[in-house]
A and B are shown apart, each in its own frame.
Chain A
Amino acid sequence: MADKWRLLDLGHLTAAENMALNRVILECRSEDLIPNTMRFLQFRPHCVNLGYHQSVELEVEEEYCRAHGLDISRRITGGGNLYWDESQLGWEIYALRNTPGIPRQLEALYQRICECSVAGLRKLGIEARFRPKNDIEVGGRKISGTGGSEFGNAFLYQGSLLTDFDVNTMLAALKLPVAKLDDKAVNSFRSRVICLKEILGDNMPDLAVIKKAMAAGFEEILGITLEMGRLTQDEEKRLAEVLPYFQSEEWIYGGREIQDNRLRVIDYKVTGGLIRVSVRVDKERELLKSVFITGDFFVYPPRAILDLEAILKNSSIDEDKIRNKVYAFFDENSVRIPNMDAEDFVMSILTAVWEEKVENAEV
């Protein structure tokens, strides 16, 4: 008999309410006060949402947010900054780490839960795929990012699902790795993400249908039955207690280190054309925070560059490690680009990293 999990659909909540509920439900699950739970998230008003270790100063255009009524919030899970408009749908599960069917190894856990979302999308007629480490993509373009956290013997894993995509508000509200907000930047982001509306067009179903499909995806992959439920009195009480903290500047702005966050853009010319690389480097931690690669080349398979960017995100800036990752990626994916090879991409990325490091050293 399938294990029964609780399903929560609390409708639109403020960002602080949604974030506070993350903490409350996770704690209640670890104390065995509630069953394993799946919850849908929706946000009103629209908001920007930071990963646990990010800082508002580096990730958010605060003035724009204030002028346009966006909440600024922080979540207890990791990852990068997000923009949630009122049409977006999030999902999350709370379960014990030893739940049958949930791998203990984290990377296997990411994949398992993302496969639930992939199965849900399949029920909407969409062929999605898990992309390591934490993304779900359609045709190489990201449709969902995910992340998690743990407390005691319980964990929370959550993801976004792009239903529609207000790229202009997102680019204005978040500090993203683009040199300037022009049509090129908008197109660059559009080419990297995809939303349900773009895929399904006029056949885009109601949100209720999307939720039903997503829930069915989780039931199918995890072998569970979801039963609609509500917050317990204890959860309501705890929510009321912790909500002021999740609304406070102490939580939203609190205690995160401020690091240099500049974008370095370089044009690298090779025989086969031009490779433009935009990088953000965390120099103190020696990490490549993000890398965007564009240029005037043709690549096969077409999704290769987007997958390569995903692999390099948050990886070491060590020359050998970058080279090994790029070569392994070209090899494993049979990447073909006329008159370019893996070394051209290694050198273009390293040049951007070196320039950033050198300039920093001179300051």
Chain B
Amino acid sequence: MSNKNYEFPSDLLYNRQNYWLKKTEGRVRVGLSDYGQNTVGDVLYLELGQEGQKLQQGEEFGSIEAGKWVGTLQAPIRGRIAAVHDELSGKPAAINNSPYQSGWLYEMDNVDESQLKGMMDVNEYRAWVQEQIKLEEQECQYNG
């Protein structure tokens, strides 16, 4: 894992659940980071929320299945789902192959912008990912 060169665009914000956020006009687009998609593994199925759904920061909704593991999606900030990326449910591999372009998950509006300040910029996130990779390597050594 340490040898992999993850791509983290500099114009995005990130959080510890490995979501990226991109502010556009009145909306925030959300996806999984390159490190996040690699951690999840090859995505087989995806259930996104409904347009109009209001979410609190950290609220769990939808599901993502990879390697027989069903995980939940978490809202990185408070807001409303303005658009879901419908094409993904048919082609979830885009999350792995193109996490920042065709693999985006959904867009939010009416967001709590103050919560964006709690996100990491690319340098902070890159440093945090390096820490995670080190911890994972230590766990691997510990576990033999």
Contact = CB atoms under 8 A, between A and B. Distances in A.
Contacts of A52: 45, 63, 65, 70
Contacts of B67: 78, 106-107, 110, 133-134, 314
Interface residues of B, number: 29
Contacts of B66: 78, 106
A103 B69 CA distance: 15
B39 A106 contact: yes
Interface in B54-94: 60, 63, 65-72, 89-93
A87 interface: no
Q: Provide the main secondary structure of the chain B interface.
A: mixed
Contacts of B120: none
A77 B68 CA distance: 7
A100 to B, nearest CB: 10
A53 interface: yes
A147 B68 contact: yes
Contact of A79 (B68, B90, B135, B140): B68
A51 interface: yes
B93 A285 contact: yes
A105 B138 CA distance: 11
A286 interface: yes
Interface stretch (A148-156, A169-177, A189-197, A269-277): A148-156
A151 B41 CA distance: 18
B72 A151 contact: yes
A106 B60 contact: no
Contact of B60 (A51, A104, A151): A151
A53 B1 CA distance: 29
Closest 8 A-B residue pairs measured CB to CB? A147-B68, A79-B68, A53-B45, A78-B68, A149-B70, A78-B65, A78-B70, A103-B139
24 contacts: A52-B70, A53-B44, A53-B45, A53-B63, A77-B70, A78-B44, A103-B139, A104-B132, A105-B136, A106-B39, A106-B40, A106-B66, A106-B67, A106-B69, A112-B143, A133-B67, A146-B68, A148-B68, A149-B69, A150-B71, A285-B44, A285-B90, A285-B92, A287-B44
Interface of A: 51-53, 76-79, 101, 103-108, 110-112, 133-134, 145-152, 257, 284-287, 314-316
